[in-house]
Amino acid sequence: MKIKDVCKILNARVLAGEEMMDFDIECAFGSDMLSDVLTFARGRMALLTGLNSHQVIRTAEISDIPLIIFVRGRTPDKGIIDLAHGKDICLLGTDLIMYEACGKLYNAGLPPVTRL
């Protein structure tokens, strides 16, 4: 699923990585625990999270995660967004809660990371 399709499904704002809209995502994982993210991350994974910290970006960089979706209307501050620049990480923000955002992507055919 292309990131631009993720954007449409979640009615999301692009916070960083505008140039990555045609990038293909192959699975997704939702969590606010970064050690779990480090355990499960594989492939071209989208991370859905309600966490809003520098460590989310660093976790994505360490685990080669190309897409972070901030749920529940959480908008990271400029310092966090800047940290993603130049790292091939796209940041999206949606007002949907975690449950609904995950459900919409699942219904649209994006599989969980455990099926990869």
User: How many residues are recorded in the chain?
Assistant: 116
Based on the shown chain and the rule CB under 8 A, indicate whether residue 48 belongs to the binding site for another protein.
Answer: no
User: Applying CB under 8 A, does 6 fall inside the site for another protein?
Assistant: no
CB under 8 A: which stretch of 9-17, 46-54, 70-78, 97-105 binds another protein?
Answer: 46-54
Q: How far apart are CA 22 and CA 1, in angstroms?
A: 9
Distance CA 20, CA 99 (A): 25
By CB neighbour count within 10 A (0-12 exposed, 13-18 middle, 19+ buried), where does 111 fall?
A: middle
Residue with tokens 């099926």: 115
State yes or no: residue 89 binds another protein (CB under 8 A).
Answer: no
Query: Looking at 5, 13, 21, 63, which residue binds another protein (CB under 8 A)?
Result: 63
Check binding of 34 to another protein (CB under 8 A). yes
User: How many amino acids of this chain bind another protein (CB under 8 A)?
Assistant: 20
Q: Does 116 bind another protein (CB under 8 A)?
A: no
CA atoms lying within 13 Å on the CB side of residue 101:
27
4 near another protein, rule: CB under 8 A: no
Residues that bind another protein (CB under 8 A): 32-39, 49, 51, 53-56, 58-59, 61-64
